[in-house]
Amino acid sequence: MTTPDQALAARSFFGSYFPPTRRAISGLFLLNGLYAGAWAPKIPEFAGRLDISEMQLGLMIMCFGIGSLILMPIAGVLIAHFGSARTVKGAALLFLPTLLLLSLAPNIALGVAAISLFGGLLGTMDVAMNGNAVEVEKSMRRAIMSSCHAFWSLGAFIGATTGGYLIETIGVIGHAALLTVFAAVALAFIWPFVLRDAPHRTEEREKVGLPTTPLPWLIGLMALFCMVPEGAILDWSALYMRNELGAPLALSGFAFGTFSLTMAAMRFAGDHVRDRFGAVKTLRYCTVIAMAGMIIAGTAPHGYVAVLGFALCGVGISNMVPIAFSAAGNLPGYAQGVALSVATVMGYSGSLFAPSVIGFIAEHTGFAIIFALLPVLFIVVLLLSHHAVHADVRERH
C-alpha cells in the first residue's frame, strides 16, 4: 500500500519532471499531429468531391507544402516580436477551423485556398510549438524536444487510424466537426499553462530578418537531409515493398507502420538518451543506425528484411530532427524564432517536396537503389553533427 509520504513524493517527482508547461506543449504537439493524421483518410473523399484526377490531386497537395513554406518564416518573425506563447496560441486558434474548411470546400478554387491555409497554419503552429518547446527546455534545464515530437507522432497515429472509421460512421462533416470541438475543448484546458516567454526584441535587429551568417543554414541543411529519407519512407516504402520485393499487401503496410512505431518509441526515450550522452553523440549514433537501416532496406532480398531495415530507420531518424530543431532554437545571438524557422522550413521542404522528385527518378531506376543511396545524405549530417552542441541547454543557466 502506498503511504501518504510516497504519494507526495510521486506527485513531487511528476510535477518536477512533467510540469504544467511541459504538459501544455506536449498537448499542442498532440493536437497538431492529430489534425495532420486526420487529413490522410479525408484525401479520397476530398478528391472525389472536387472531381479531380490523381495528377490534379498531386498539385493540390503541393499547395499544402507551398502554404507551409510561405507562412513558416512569418511564424519566425512573429516569435521574435511577440514570443512563442502568443504566436502558438494565435496559430492554434486560426488552425482549429481548417478541417471544416477542407470538408466544406465545394470547388477547386476554394479547395486550393482551404488546403493552402491548412498547410500554412499547420506549419505556423509547428514552428511556434518548437519555439515554445525550446523555452520549456531552458526553464527545465533538460531535453524535452524528442518527447514533444513523440506526442506529435502519437497524435498523427490516432488521427489517421480513427479517421476512416469516424468518416464512415458520422460522415465527413461530422468527423471534422467532432475533431474541431475536441481540439477547441483541449486548447481551452491547455491555454493557461503554455509557458509565457518574452519577445526577443533584445536581439540585434538585423537578426530578425533572414540570417546572414552560415550557421543557421548549416543546421537547416542538417534538418533537410534528416527529413528527406523520412519523407521517402512515408510516401514510397509500401510501393517499394509491393512492386519490387513482391511483398503481400498486409506486409507492405508494415514498412511505414514499423518505422512509425519505432520512431515514436525512441522519441519518448530520446530526451533521456540526450541528457545522458549529449546531443552530438546522440545525433551521431542515431545517424549511423539510420544509415544501417536504410542500406538494409534498400538491399533487402525480401519484404521481411526490408521491414527490419525500416524499423531500424525509425530508431535512428527518431531523434535526429528534434536535435536539429533544438540546436536551431538555442543558437546564441539569434532571434530564436528566425533561426528555428530556417531549420523548420528547410527540414519540412525535404519531406514535402523531395518525395515527388524521388518518385520521378524511381520510374527510371526503381526504389531499391534510391533507398540504398539515401544514406549518402546522412554522411553530410555526420559531418555537420558537431553543430548539435547548441541543443544542449543544461549548462546555460
Q: What is the per-residue DSSP string for 278-298?
A: -HHHHHHHHHHHHHHHHHHHH
d(CA 139, CA 49): 48
Decide: pTM greater than 0.85.
no
Q: Residue 13: what pLDDT?
A: 52
Kindly state the DSSP code that residue 332 receives in the 8-state scheme: T
Q: How far apart are CA 43 and CA 36, in angstroms?
A: 12
Cα distance between residue 214 and residue 220, in whole Å: 10
pLDDT of residue 331: 79
* DSSP letter, residue 141: T
Indicate if the pLDDT at residue 134 is higher than 60. yes
Give pLDDT tens digits for 285-321: 999 999 999 999 999 998 899 989 999 998 999 889 8
| Dist CA 249 CA 85 (whole Å) | 44
Q: How many CB atoms lie within 10 A of CB 95?
A: 24
Q: What is the pLDDT of residue 397?
A: 39
For position 395, what pLDDT does the model report? 43
Cell numbers found for residue 48: 472525389
Question: Is there a contact between 381 and 226 (Cβ–Cβ < 8 Å)?
Answer: yes
- Cα distance between residue 358 and residue 352, in whole Å: 11
The runs of H, that is alpha helices, within the chain are 4-17, 20-39, 43-50, 54-82, 84-95, 98-104, 108-140, 145-190, 214-244, 249-277, 279-298, 303-317, 320-329, 336-365, 367-373, 375-384
How many Å apart are CA 229 and CA 286, to the nearest integer? 14
C-alpha cell at 126: 509547428
C-alpha 35/C-alpha 29 separation (Å) is 10
The CA distance from 309 to 303, in Å, is 10
**Cα separation, 316 vs 242, whole angstroms:** 24
Contacts of 177 (CB under 8 A, 6+ apart): 100
Q: Which residue has the higher pLDDT, 168 or 85?
A: 85
- At residue 152, the pLDDT reads 86
At 198 the pLDDT is 74
pLDDT of residue 396: 43
Q: How many CA atoms lie within 13 A of 17 on its CB side?
A: 9
Mean pLDDT (the chain) is 83
Q: What is the pLDDT of residue 380?
A: 93
**Segment of 62-76, 227-241, 262-276, 364-378 carrying the highest mean pLDDT:** 364-378
Q: Residue 181, SS3?
A: helix
